[in-house]
Chains A and B, each alone.
Chain A
Amino acid sequence: MNSPDSSHAAGPQGFWRKYVFSLDHKVIGRQYLDLSLVAVTTGMILSWLMRLHLGWPALSIPGLGAIAPEATGGIITPEYYLSLMTMHGTIMVFFVLTTAPFAGLGNFILPIQIGAEDMAFPRFNMMSFWVTFVAFIVLVSAFFVPEGPPLSGWTAYAPLSAVGKDAGPGQGWGQTLWVISIGIFCIAQLLGSLNFIATTLDLRTKGMSLARMPFSTWAWFITSIIGLIAFSVLLPACVLLLLDRVAGTSFFIPAGLVISDRLQPHAGGSPLLWQHLFWFFGHPEVYIAILPGFGIVSHILPAVTRKPLLGPRVLIACMIAIAFLSYTVWGHHMFMSGMNPFSATVFSVPTLIITIPAAITTLLWIGTLYGARMRYNTAALFCLGFISVFVSGGISGFFLAQPAIDSYLHGTYFVVGHFHFVMGVASMFGIFAGVYFWFPKMFGRMMNETLGKWHFILTFIGVYCIFMPMHWLGLAGNVRRYSAFTDDYMKGSIPLHRFITVAALFTGAAQLIFFYNLFRSRFRGEIAPANPWQATSLEWTTSSPPPHDNFGGHHPVVYHGPNEYGVAGKDGDYIMQNSPEPEPVAAAS
């Protein structure tokens, strides 16, 4: 894989091998990003339908009745709302937040950042993309089965998800397809994780010690280790759930359940077992979604502040601590679940402790801004926005981490606001920052900065208008996963829900600026130089876009870490990682 022969440098020329079944990590990374783009558009449209229904439950949505037979006359029924919600969550968490920042950007950039020609296992890499693609098709096909898509949420709690179609609409074939899709997705993720780990450990170029790896590489590496363990648990959990549904087993279903007036033919299972298995995966999963963002922000901030990141080793230690602790906290999703209440106290301790490395990293980023010479390009703005929304979402997590407070806020909109801030916004901002930063490298053209800045500011204001009010709704006891608010005490919250809906539609519209910018810049963007941001890491030493083998036949040699900014270098106030000039004795202070 490391041989620099010229035919390898040129790459395959046929259409199918070059663009479809490519082994080139750069093509595969872009395929993942394209898949995420389709997924995020789908997920966003689903969320608009949900929000419209919550604000105006009797609304007949033009055209919906034609696409969705379940929504007769374009009116969203209670079960269709829950199906939209389930598919929204599933598509966004798996096919956007787990895919774009890790498999998408990571695939493209990581090998180049460590000076390698490709991933360690290019065939596994290609397979993992196409397996992810198949998983997506299987999931989307649940929209088209006669009983409709599943409605048990992305969390698919048993027995609702396990007993089959007696449990209600969408719980027949729709739920089965969901389980199969997620199982397939797990396989793709495991292949991907193996690839990232092997590549990072084995294919670093000369001089690229672990300590000199860029922060984004560290983040992808740590993320892939988390993923290996987490998805290894979700896969058998999905298999067990599938067996309960189709093979008459009872892993998750106890005896004596009467559903649709029928005594269910199961005995001996435990619904809590599903929750343990799911959340043992589910909590590390949210760190899989956010850690690449940590890495991307940490990588971009020095380039846009023109100074080294504060505490680089501390940052890496914190990411490792978060990864380790992420396996000890899953029970905080289950405080109210009926497991022994003493265990709630036990789980809340590491949950609160994990706040510490998260707080340290946030302080390191903010501290990096001190004394900086900031350039407010779009990538920088999304990094700053990331910090702001991560603070907001992290702080709301502080409430939920305590069982006594969670006993009030669990199952309310407070939780929805919290996880959307950290996942739906912070993680997305990490993706946006990465896209704006690396677009020139990937496509050889610059994105339009004016459009980017409009995209940023409208989105930033919009997301706060959507998700901050949800905390207030939660404090008022407004329950989540409701298709309508008919309870006496919740009716007063409908005006705020309408405000949120309007904000959501407005923010969705602002994304059109991003889509337009993406497509326009591919063809009409200013031609990009090799290093438009004057950044230090190896991806900026090669052309934009890079040649097929990334470095045109030679292997870079690394002399410095990625953090040499604000120093007197031969090219300016930075020293590139592959530059043989010596490190300055005293950095500028």
Chain B
Amino acid sequence: MHKRNFSILAIVFLVSAAASSKAGRFAGHAIAPGTIEGIISYTGTPPKMKPIDMAKEPSCAKQHATPVMTEAVGVGPGNTLEDVVVYVSAGDKGPQASQPATYEQKGCQYIPHVAAMEVNQPLEIYNHDQTSHNIHPMAKLNSEWNKSQPPGSPPLKVTYEKAEFIPVKCNVHPWMHGYFAVLGTSHYSVSDDKGTFTLKGLAPGKYTITAWQEKFGTQTEEVTVTSGGTTKANFTFKAVPY
């Protein structure tokens, strides 16, 4: 498998300078994409997440054997944080992302809680529930709109032109909250339920990366990416209970 990648990568490398998202390792060549990865954690006491009572929407309530929790501060094992957006704020921003990002309304939740996307990257919003939703992204720099999607509606297709962290709510179901992280780069990663993030396909060089958490704000770090190497960068947020 590596030999095959080796031949393909060699051709790509010879033909174009565009970074591909699959980084191979080949010994002996000077330039290869690198990776930044790390863990987001917190100190202090984060607020307790509360269970969401979806009783008012029975078709959603019955999809959850146990109630889902609010997601504003998602915590993982070892004091880690989920749903933190890590992105390149200075340095090579990468090629324009063109694959659509997706956002789903399912079980009266937004999945994912935070959808990261690049400016002008298409976004498709689906309603998989038996109830009507009215998604309302409350943008300040971009245009603010809301749109109803009765059950069985086709997906909404939107793009945002300016970088902004847009809170998203459902006008019909007050507990539904999420974010669109519209970024000026295609190098982004949202931390998973163990708090880990990975930025791949970075051309070697100096970068500033920013981590954003919806309640705790942002933190930045300066990182250097080596050719074909993996650089570690961790973030620690200060959590307060209220």
Residues of A within 8 A of B (CB): 57-58, 72-73, 75, 77-80, 168-169, 260-261, 484, 486, 488
**B127-154 vs A, Cβ < 8 Å mask (1 yes, 0 no):** 0000110101010000000101011111
| 18 more CB-based (< 8 A) A-B contacts, given A73-B154, A168-B146, A260-B136 | A57-B150, A58-B152, A72-B153, A73-B153, A75-B150, A75-B152, A75-B153, A77-B132, A77-B134, A77-B148, A78-B134, A79-B148, A168-B171, A169-B134, A169-B146, A261-B169, A484-B132, A488-B58
Flag if B167 contacts A261 (CB, 8 Å). yes
Flag if B169 contacts A79 (CB, 8 Å). no
* Pairs A–B under 8 Å by Cβ, sample size 28: A57-B150, A58-B150, A58-B152, A72-B153, A72-B154, A73-B153, A73-B154, A75-B150, A75-B153, A77-B134, A77-B148, A77-B150, A78-B134, A78-B148, A78-B150, A78-B172, A79-B148, A80-B148, A168-B146, A168-B171, A169-B146, A169-B148, A260-B136, A260-B138, A261-B138, A261-B167, A261-B169, A486-B131
A75: chain B residues within 8 A (beta carbon): 150, 152-153
How many angstroms between the C-alpha atoms of A79 and B138 in the bound complex? 18
How many angstroms between the C-alpha atoms of A78 and B138 in the bound complex? 20
- Of chain A, the residue at the smallest CB distance from B169 is A261
How many angstroms between the C-alpha atoms of A570 and B47 in the bound complex? 97
How many angstroms between the C-alpha atoms of A75 and B152 in the bound complex? 10
Give chain A nearest CB distance to B204 CB in angstroms. Answer: 43
How many angstroms between the C-alpha atoms of A401 and B148 in the bound complex? 38
Flag if B151 contacts A79 (CB, 8 Å). no
Contact of B132 among A78, A169, A260, A488 (CB under 8 A): A78
Give chain B nearest CB distance to A232 CB in angstroms. Answer: 38
A260: chain B residues within 8 A (beta carbon): 136, 138
A169: chain B residues within 8 A (beta carbon): 134, 146, 148
Give chain A nearest CB distance to B58 CB in angstroms. Answer: 8
B154: chain A residues within 8 A (beta carbon): 72-73
B58: chain A residues within 8 A (beta carbon): 488
Give chain B nearest CB distance to A197 CB in angstroms. Answer: 48
Nearest 3 interchain pairs by C-beta: A77-B148, A75-B150, A78-B132
Highest count of chain A CB atoms <10 Å: which of B132, B152, B167 = B132
A486: chain B residues within 8 A (beta carbon): 131
Give chain B nearest CB distance to A66 CB in angstroms. Answer: 16
A77: chain B residues within 8 A (beta carbon): 132, 134, 148, 150
Give chain A nearest CB distance to B157 CB in angstroms. Answer: 11
Give chain B nearest CB distance to A494 CB in angstroms. Answer: 16
Instruction: Scan residues 14-44 of chain B and give those whose CB is less than 8 A from a CB of chain A.
Output: none
Flag if B134 contacts A79 (CB, 8 Å). yes
B172: chain A residues within 8 A (beta carbon): 78
How many angstroms between the C-alpha atoms of A360 and B216 in the bound complex? 73
Give chain B nearest CB distance to A176 CB in angstroms. Answer: 18
Give chain A nearest CB distance to B34 CB in angstroms. Answer: 40
A58: chain B residues within 8 A (beta carbon): 150-152
Highest count of chain A CB atoms <10 Å: which of B132, B138, B148 = B148
B150: chain A residues within 8 A (beta carbon): 57-58, 75, 77-78
A72: chain B residues within 8 A (beta carbon): 153-154
How many angstroms between the C-alpha atoms of A57 and B154 in the bound complex? 16
- Of chain A, the residue at the smallest CB distance from B59 is A486
Give chain B nearest CB distance to A172 CB in angstroms. Answer: 11
B153: chain A residues within 8 A (beta carbon): 72-73, 75
**B145-184 vs A, Cβ < 8 Å mask (1 yes, 0 no):** 0101011111000000000000101011000000000000
- Of chain A, the residue at the smallest CB distance from B131 is A486
How many angstroms between the C-alpha atoms of A261 and B171 in the bound complex? 10
How many angstroms between the C-alpha atoms of A58 and B127 in the bound complex? 14
B131: chain A residues within 8 A (beta carbon): 486
How many angstroms between the C-alpha atoms of A486 and B150 in the bound complex? 13
How many angstroms between the C-alpha atoms of A57 and B152 in the bound complex? 11
How many angstroms between the C-alpha atoms of A72 and B171 in the bound complex? 18
Give chain B nearest CB distance to A189 CB in angstroms. Answer: 36
How many angstroms between the C-alpha atoms of A148 and B153 in the bound complex? 19
B167: chain A residues within 8 A (beta carbon): 261
- Of chain A, the residue at the smallest CB distance from B156 is A72
How many angstroms between the C-alpha atoms of A73 and B154 in the bound complex? 9
- Of chain B, the residue at the smallest CB distance from A488 is B58
Give chain A nearest CB distance to B92 CB in angstroms. Answer: 36
How many angstroms between the C-alpha atoms of A80 and B151 in the bound complex? 15
Give chain A nearest CB distance to B75 CB in angstroms. Answer: 24
How many angstroms between the C-alpha atoms of A73 and B147 in the bound complex? 13
- Of chain B, the residue at the smallest CB distance from A60 is B152
A79: chain B residues within 8 A (beta carbon): 134, 148
How many angstroms between the C-alpha atoms of A72 and B146 in the bound complex? 13
Give chain A nearest CB distance to B140 CB in angstroms. Answer: 11
- Of chain B, the residue at the smallest CB distance from A75 is B150
A78: chain B residues within 8 A (beta carbon): 132, 134, 148, 150, 172
A80: chain B residues within 8 A (beta carbon): 148
How many angstroms between the C-alpha atoms of A80 and B153 in the bound complex? 15
How many angstroms between the C-alpha atoms of A79 and B132 in the bound complex? 11
Give chain B nearest CB distance to A45 CB in angstroms. Answer: 21
B152: chain A residues within 8 A (beta carbon): 58, 75
- Of chain A, the residue at the smallest CB distance from B154 is A73
How many angstroms between the C-alpha atoms of A261 and B172 in the bound complex? 13
- Of chain B, the residue at the smallest CB distance from A484 is B132
How many angstroms between the C-alpha atoms of A78 and B167 in the bound complex? 23
B136: chain A residues within 8 A (beta carbon): 260
B132: chain A residues within 8 A (beta carbon): 77-78, 484
Give chain A nearest CB distance to B208 CB in angstroms. Answer: 31
How many angstroms between the C-alpha atoms of A58 and B130 in the bound complex? 11
Give chain B nearest CB distance to A75 CB in angstroms. Answer: 6
Highest count of chain A CB atoms <10 Å: which of B58, B132, B150 = B150
Give chain B nearest CB distance to A517 CB in angstroms. Answer: 40
How many angstroms between the C-alpha atoms of A72 and B155 in the bound complex? 11
How many angstroms between the C-alpha atoms of A72 and B154 in the bound complex? 9
How many angstroms between the C-alpha atoms of A445 and B177 in the bound complex? 66
How many angstroms between the C-alpha atoms of A484 and B171 in the bound complex? 16
A488: chain B residues within 8 A (beta carbon): 58
Give chain B nearest CB distance to A195 CB in angstroms. Answer: 46
**B109-143 vs A, Cβ < 8 Å mask (1 yes, 0 no):** 00000000000000000000001101010100000
**B72-106 vs A, Cβ < 8 Å mask (1 yes, 0 no):** 00000000000000000000000000000000000
How many angstroms between the C-alpha atoms of A75 and B150 in the bound complex? 8
Give chain B nearest CB distance to A585 CB in angstroms. Answer: 74
A168: chain B residues within 8 A (beta carbon): 146, 171
Give chain B nearest CB distance to A315 CB in angstroms. Answer: 51
How many angstroms between the C-alpha atoms of A58 and B58 in the bound complex? 19
How many angstroms between the C-alpha atoms of A132 and B58 in the bound complex? 48
Give chain A nearest CB distance to B142 CB in angstroms. Answer: 15
How many angstroms between the C-alpha atoms of A569 and B167 in the bound complex? 83
B151: chain A residues within 8 A (beta carbon): 58
Give chain A nearest CB distance to B188 CB in angstroms. Answer: 25
